[in-house]
A and B are shown apart, each in its own frame.
Chain A
Amino acid sequence: MAIESSAHTLGVGIVENGKVLANSSAMYKLSDKGIIPAKVAEYHSKNIGRVIQHALKEAGISLSGIEAIGYTKGPGLGPCLRIAQVAARTFALSRSIPIFPVNHAVAHIEITKQLSKMKNPLALYVSGGNSQIIGLVEEPFRHYHIYGETFDVGVGNMLDSFARAAGLKPAWGSSVARLAEHGHYMAMPYTVKGMDFTFTGLQTHAIKMLEGFEHKDIAFSLQETAFAMLTEATERALLLTESKGMVLCGGVAQSARLRQMLSMMAESHRTKFYVAPNEYNADNGAMIAFVTELMLKSQHPAPIERCTIDQKYRIDKVMITW
């Protein structure tokens, strides 16, 4: 079993032999101002008991059937991460079971990889706070190498900021997509440097344009430009690594337009392309539980004093032992 609470979603997943038995969650309802970490943390702490009960019921097992516990160590919002960490540590100590701190990005990629049945695909991981192009390499140790990433904000947060400035309602990603449906293209700043990219210039430009231009045109151009930057950077990484497969994961993977662009790009290079069902793209407990099981089978449990949280826990720091 594992607990995930890196942002506004509180998730509990239960996995056995790579099969998901339960994937329960509770989501903090976003206000117009975005996420206020302390409030979300309060929400998580109030609901965590309920969500764990729900997951156990869904899996049809009792607490004593839990072999090991995992939690999201990072990256994420500090106060939110803390909730899952404290719960997991309490759980591990009181029931004397092994505990594993899990990297959130690794979990997104591993569950998508499992579902895609690809061996070693190149991954584009896009969410609120992260936008990275990632592949598994063996040197100097087995880890996920970041080929390219955003120099400033994640693509999801950029779209959210724009949507708030435009007065749209959450969920902002899909609000922007709906607004963009009948838009026309206008030129916007396009910043790709090799396989890295930046989004803040684009964000500022789009927000400034809100006065004086049609909102649907801005939304369309913003989305087209941001996704084009991601796709182009991924295309370069794909040719560099000569990967046979490619996956898309993370919250923004729910965007239909981004999926379309990447699948067209993959097709032009005769590369296989896969996106997981939305329930696994949004933050969820099942993916953390999935990695917890991988860790349980391939490494020693973490000593309790090492079970910390890390708001900036980078994926290339994680040794892959499976």
Chain B
Amino acid sequence: MVEPKIISEGAESHIYSGNLLGMDIIIKYRHKKKYLAKELDALLRSQRTKTEAKLLATARLNGVNVPALLFVRKHALYIERINGKTLNKKPNTNKSLSEILKHAGRYLAQLHNIDIAHGDYTPANIMVDAQNKVWIIDFGLALQTASLEEKALDILLMKRSISRKTFRAFINGYSKHCMKNSAILSRLAEIERRGRYQVRTLLAQQPSDS
């Protein structure tokens, strides 16, 4: 295995790129946080790594286009590397934005059907590769939950990050494939009326270039 190279240092994890038996991979390593009590740090790292691995694998088994999880080693996920660009980085593709987001809507519906909320469903986590295939990445904040609230928040986060026209395409793709469509969408409307907490937080997370 070629020595892995660090490509990003986030709050949650350090991402390395590497090569495993000729396959391009990324390694997502949840690093140690010195400021935490030792036991709490160990607990959070292993719990979060485990949850992410489980949800990533479950999503793929259920037909959502996510990168393959190769294996898990303590606090690190070894994941297939997709050669593409995320939507906020303007990927080079002949597919229209609406088409891409229609796919993204369908994948989110498929996740929600098996009770997974993505937790950070923004253009920064939708990737398009050279073959124009759409991929969903980063399950670091994903949750196994039946909660309408969490699912509606996934949609809301996307809604706040894209234009009205592309959101229409997104929600078309979503509605066609989601089983609890009407309940989730009416919760979404309720959250938007509520206004204060969630919407504010989501606005703050919006990528600046979209």
Measuring CB to CB, which residues of chain A are less than 8 angstroms from any residue of chain B?
A: 145-149, 151, 185, 187, 190, 194-196, 224-225, 228, 231-232, 235-236, 238-240, 260-262, 264-265, 268, 316
Contact = CB atoms under 8 A, between A and B. Distances in A.
A185 B34 contact: no
Contacts of A316: 200
A240 B205 contact: yes
A105 to B, nearest CB: 15
Given A185-B40, A195-B201, A195-B204, A239 B11 contact: yes
Interface string B195-209: 001001100110000
11 contacts: A185-B37, A185-B38, A190-B40, A194-B141, A194-B201, A228-B35, A231-B35, A236-B11, A240-B205, A265-B33, A265-B35
B40 A264 contact: no
Nearest to B12: A236
Interface string B1-22: 0000000001100000000000
B44 A148 contact: no
Nearest to A148: B201
Contacts of B33: 232, 265, 268
Contacts of A224: 36-37, 40
Given A190-B44, A194-B201, A195-B201, A264 B37 contact: no
B35 A264 contact: yes
A228 B10 CA distance: 17
Interface of B: 10-11, 33-40, 43-44, 141, 197, 200-201, 204-205
A interface SS class: helix
Contacts of A145: 204
B125 to A, nearest CB: 14
Contact of A187 (B34, B43, B200, B204): B43
A185 B35 contact: no
Give 10 nearest A-B pairs by CB, closest first. Answer: A185-B39, A264-B35, A261-B35, A224-B37, A236-B11, A235-B11, A239-B11, A265-B35, A147-B204, A185-B37
Contacts of A240: 204-205
Contacts of B204: 145, 147-148, 195, 240
A145 B203 CA distance: 11
Contacts of A148: 201, 204
A240 B34 CA distance: 20
A162 to B, nearest CB: 17
A149 B198 CA distance: 11
Contacts of B205: 194-195, 240
A146 B199 CA distance: 12
A268 B43 CA distance: 21
Contacts of A225: 40
